[in-house]
Amino acid sequence: IYARQAKKTIVTLAKGTVNTVTDGSKYADSSDENAPDAAVFSQGDLSINGSGSLTVKANAANGIGTKDDLVITGGKISVTAANDGLRGRDSIAIKDGTFTINAGGDGLQANNDEDSDKGWISIDGGQFAITAEKDGLQAET
């Protein structure tokens, strides 16, 4: 899933649904800094809500990612990623949900180091099982 020009993308996991996203082993235009680097990727803000399930198998890089803010308010989310599981460059805000993350990099990462008001992770509920080669949670600020 690639939301290239939207200011905000909302993915709703409808009650009772089972959803799966899998990417290939590389992206066609990985040299472009604006190219996607996640199986579910948005250039703008990305929100995931609902009570259904989402399984992401990211063979190339990150599982779920955005160049801006990542907000998750529910669902059963399982991510296996070659690199980071969940990545919100500016922030990650989680209100609820059940998460199983297996990452070759960080489990959750917010890495904006250019603005002291960004690069943070907020968790206000949910259940987490994170296995990561690097940090379970990595926030720049």
Give the pLDDT confidence score for residue 30 in this predicted structure: 64
Residues of the chain with pLDDT under 50: none
CA distance 58 to 38: 7
Tens-place pLDDT, residues 19-28: 999 999 988 7
By C-alpha distance, which of 103, 107, 106, 104 is closest to 128? 107
pTM confidence score: 0.96
Give the pLDDT confidence score for residue 102 in this predicted structure: 98
CA distance 39 to 131: 19
Q: Is 65 in a helix, a strand, or coil?
A: strand
Give the pLDDT confidence score for residue 25 in this predicted structure: 92
Instruction: Read off the tokens for 98.
Output: 């059940």
Give the pLDDT confidence score for residue 28 in this predicted structure: 74
Phi, then psi, of 119 in degrees rounded to 5: 85, 35
Mean of the per-residue pLDDT values for the chain?
Answer: 95
Q: Quick check: 101 and 76 in contact, CB under 8 A?
A: no
Give the pLDDT confidence score for residue 95 in this predicted structure: 98
The burial class, CB within 10 Å (0-12 / 13-18 / 19+), for 20 is: exposed
